[in-house]
Amino acid sequence: MPFTIDDAGVASAGRITVSPIAGALGAEIAGVNLADELDDGVVAEIRRAWLAHLVVFFRDQTLDGDRFMAFARRIGTPVEYPFVRGLDTHPRIIAVTKLPHETVNFGGIWHSDTAYLAEPPMATLLLAREIPPVGGDTMFANMYAAYEALSPAMRAMLQPLRAINSSALADVSKTREDRLRDASASDESDVYEASHPVLRTHPETGRKALYVNVAHTARLDGMTEEESRPLLGFLFRHQVQPEFTCRFRWQVGSLALWDNRCAQHNPVNDYHGWRRVMHRITLQGDVPA
């Protein structure tokens, strides 16, 4: 079913309304209660909007663990996260919590989720349970746009390159140190590494995306870290320029669904002294190509 778009850029796709929140990526979807038994047509509309906007947001969703998992299963296959133990009642839902006395948040750096796995997740769903009165927004960046803004010569140079992604980078350790100590699902000494193409082709849209990130990408495959640093440093700065990004302000009951294959995200750590609790599900992906 095609979208119809009005003068304000709001698209209607049958039963849902899709409202972009920025020029680069991101849209809010209204007209659907995710706690309902969704028919295939509505799920297809949501999926089309998600592929078009890379990250979509739903407001005022009242979902218990069962209904949250049920919606996630309509999009993909939920998988366990390697470093944080899931909820006792729902092992594939993890609690992303920052307590009032903590100053380090979880994943507080630009990244694509678990790029150090051989099959990184296709997507992530994040549901707001408790939020601070101000702050705690999440930023997202469009890796299609980052790729397309590169010069033809740079694209040609990057095309054959692969990058080594590792769970052992210092910045990653900093963002999960408290969670590893208190709630690890695996041995803290476990290190995951994977080689992936620097330019990834999305398996559903066929578009190319820049697939390196400052949190996980350690070096270019076949090169030392020192040799890799100038080029990777340029790419890390390039891919999160403001014109490639959007910013989402959470409310209790807000849900985000982002495409991990072509978008990065960064939870902003600006709410010290307040409690923030999110529930997260990751969806099984494939080998980047």
Q: Which residues are catalytic?
A: 111, 113, 265, 280
Tokens representing residue 26 in the block: 């991101």
**Do 109 and 265 form a contact (C-beta atoms < 8 A)?**
no
Question: Which amino acid is located at 7 in the chain?
Answer: D
Q: Output the CA–CA distances (angstroms, integers) from residue 54 to 86, 136, 173, 209, 254, in the order listed.
A: 26, 20, 27, 12, 17
Rg of the chain over all Cα atoms, to the nearest angstrom: 18
**Which residue bears the tokens 């209607």?**
12
3-class secondary structure per residue, 18-69: EEECCCCCCEEEECCCCCCCCCHHHHHHHHHHHHHHCEEEECCCCCCHHHHH
Q: Residue 226 contacts by C-beta under 8 Å, 6 or more apart in sequence? A: none
**Which residue bears the tokens 């992604």?**
165
Q: Residue 83 contacts by C-beta under 8 Å, 6 or more apart in sequence? A: 167, 176, 179, 180, 184, 185, 186
Closest CA to 97 of 271, 231, 228, 239: 271
Work out the number of other CB atoms within 10 angstroms of the CB of residue 101.
Answer: 8
Phi (first) and psi of residue 53, to 5 degrees: -110, -5
